[in-house]
Amino acid sequence: MPKFVVKLASEEKVWTEECWASDGDEVRKLYEKKGIVVLKLRRKFSLSRSKLKWRDRIIFTQQFLALVKAGVPFVRIFEIIGSRIKNPRMLEILSGAKERVIDGAELSEAFRPYTRDLGVLFITALAAGERSGRIAYTLERYLDYANFMETTTSRIKSSLTYPAVVVTVSLFLVFLLTTFVIPRFASFYKTAQLQLPALTLFILSFSSFMRSHWLTIIMGLILLYLGYKNSFRIKPLHMWVERAKLRAPFLGEGIFLISSSLYLRTLSFLLDGGIPVVQAAVTAAEASPNGYLRERLKGVPEKVSQGISLSQALEESGAVEDLGVEMVRVGEGSGQLSDLLFQGADYLEKEFEFKVRRYLGIIEPLTILFLGVVVGIMLLSVYLPIFELARGVR
């Protein structure tokens, strides 16, 4: 959700503040309700699209759930949680949601502007709970998912720390060797007029290129990273990047599994809350973390409205795991679609967890092998001519 810088005026003063909203019209409506005039507004550009961490979301949801069960009014809940939370972004969210609830918005609508931070599933859980009158129940189901994601994310980060260190050390060694060590050997080879092997010639050329263009390479990598982070601003480029992720080894399979799980779980929440299938499918499509899969899922509601079964529409989209499609098909036949969607989501999450454990077990030895190969090639290229020189002396 974008942030806007707004210049405001009341009878007493003129001031400027920041506001989170979906667009400029929403900003104007928010302040007009309070009797404040919007003099000027502009969207604040940001390179970051970071979300709240899973731990922040879990702590907030646990506190919110406990107070809901205790029968505390929503406005009072915001005040109590706000007095305990230190996260600045979470405080902004609570403040904005509280104002919307005071203005008469439903709880899910009050949090909807902050979908980027809290996730589609949290908003969906609130909406389903409001419709069914079981907010505590849907939040408990959401917490199960959030705890799973937090545990899995932490495991992935901790397991990738060692490989990341190994790769970083390897690249640093390559930089040192190509920038400082190999050039000294190059001058020695030139003085000795040695016949250099192809590997040594290649490494010397690479070293010369690195010394001449290292700043350009670093700037290029930074620009490439920034381009990736902001590719969402150009739809064709964003679709290409998102599709490339799905084709990447290991990563693509994990994204596809978790996307399918999120779609099924969101759909289950919505159907459990009494929302019609077509409308539920529209909202559930936004739950996918991958832009390309989201686009594929957006065509499902139209097909369902034309009389095609949900399972067939999902199968034709190719955006949901086969097992998930089968669970939908069985649910349609048995009349227990919501329950089977939830079970399917649970199974896909366990499958995702299993694959994460298996892939992480492969990555560690591969990184050690990578370090050995890189350093070995560099050293071999340096010492091969020396070996040849020693042999010639004998």
Residue 371 belongs to domain with CATH number:
1.20.81.30
Average pLDDT for residues 95-110, to the nearest whole number?
87
- Any domain includes 113: yes
Residues 35 and 68 in one domain: no
The whole-number pLDDT of residue 192 equals 67
pLDDT in tens, 165-198: 877 887 787 777 777 777 777 777 777 666 777 8
Residue 321: pLDDT band (50, 70, 90) is very high
Average pLDDT for residues 321-348, to the nearest whole number?
91
Residue 316: pLDDT band (50, 70, 90) is very high
Note whether 263 and 219 are within 8 A (CB): no
Poorest-pLDDT segment among 20-29, 90-99, 328-337: 20-29
- Any domain includes 152: no
Note whether 284 and 267 are within 8 A (CB): yes
Higher-pLDDT residue of 212, 299:
299
Q: Which helix (H) or strand (E) holds 14?
A: strand 14-20
- Any domain includes 49: no
Residues 196 and 318 in one domain: yes
- Any domain includes 30: yes
- Any domain includes 230: yes
Higher-pLDDT residue of 221, 392:
221
Residue 303: pLDDT band (50, 70, 90) is very high
pLDDT at 81 over 50: yes
- Any domain includes 153: no
The whole-number pLDDT of residue 134 equals 87
The whole-number pLDDT of residue 22 equals 64
Residue 313: pLDDT band (50, 70, 90) is very high
The whole-number pLDDT of residue 28 equals 82
The whole-number pLDDT of residue 46 equals 55
Residues 138 and 231 in one domain: no
Residues 81 and 23 in one domain: no
Residue 48: pLDDT band (50, 70, 90) is very low
- Any domain includes 154: no
The whole-number pLDDT of residue 162 equals 77
The whole-number pLDDT of residue 390 equals 67
pLDDT in tens, 226-283: 887 777 778 888 888 889 989 988 888 888 998 999 899 889 888 887 888 998 899 8
The whole-number pLDDT of residue 228 equals 78
Nearest to 249 by CA among 366, 369, 371: 366
Residue 49: pLDDT band (50, 70, 90) is very low
pLDDT at 1 over 60: no
Residues 367 and 218 in one domain: yes
Most confident of 98-112, 115-129, 165-179, 308-322: 308-322
Residue 388: pLDDT band (50, 70, 90) is low
- Domain boundary, last residue among 112, 147, 182: 147
Note whether 194 and 391 are within 8 A (CB): no
The whole-number pLDDT of residue 234 equals 80
Note whether 269 and 108 are within 8 A (CB): no
Residue 10: give its domain's CATH number: 3.10.20
The phi, psi pair for 250, rounded to 5°, reads 70, -60
Residues 359 and 295 in one domain: yes
By the 10 Å C-beta count (0-12 exposed, 13-18 middle, 19+ buried), 40 is classed as exposed
DSSP class of residue 342 equals H
Residues 62 and 192 in one domain: no
Higher-pLDDT residue of 213, 78:
78
Helices in the chain by DSSP H: which ranges? 24-33, 54-69, 74-84, 88-102, 107-111, 115-118, 120-132, 135-176, 182-192, 198-229, 235-247, 251-272, 277-285, 291-297, 300-305, 310-317, 322-334, 337-393
Residues 31 and 126 in one domain: no
- Any domain includes 375: yes
Higher-pLDDT residue of 325, 33:
325
Containing domain of residue 83, as a range?
Answer: 54-147
Residues 72 and 206 in one domain: no
Residues 36 and 173 in one domain: no
Please tell me the distance from the alpha carbon of residue 10 to that of residue 8, in angstroms, as a whole number: 7
Residues 280 and 367 in one domain: yes
pLDDT in tens, 115-151: 888 888 899 889 888 888 889 988 998 898 888 888 8
pTM for this one?
0.70
The count of domains in the chain is: 3
> Strand order of the sheet with strand 14-20?
14-20, 3-9, 37-44
Higher-pLDDT residue of 24, 352:
352
Residues 299 and 378 in one domain: yes
Residue 2: pLDDT band (50, 70, 90) is low
pLDDT at 67 over 90: yes
The whole-number pLDDT of residue 260 equals 92
Q: Is 40 left (phi over 0), alpha (psi -120 to 50) or beta?
A: beta
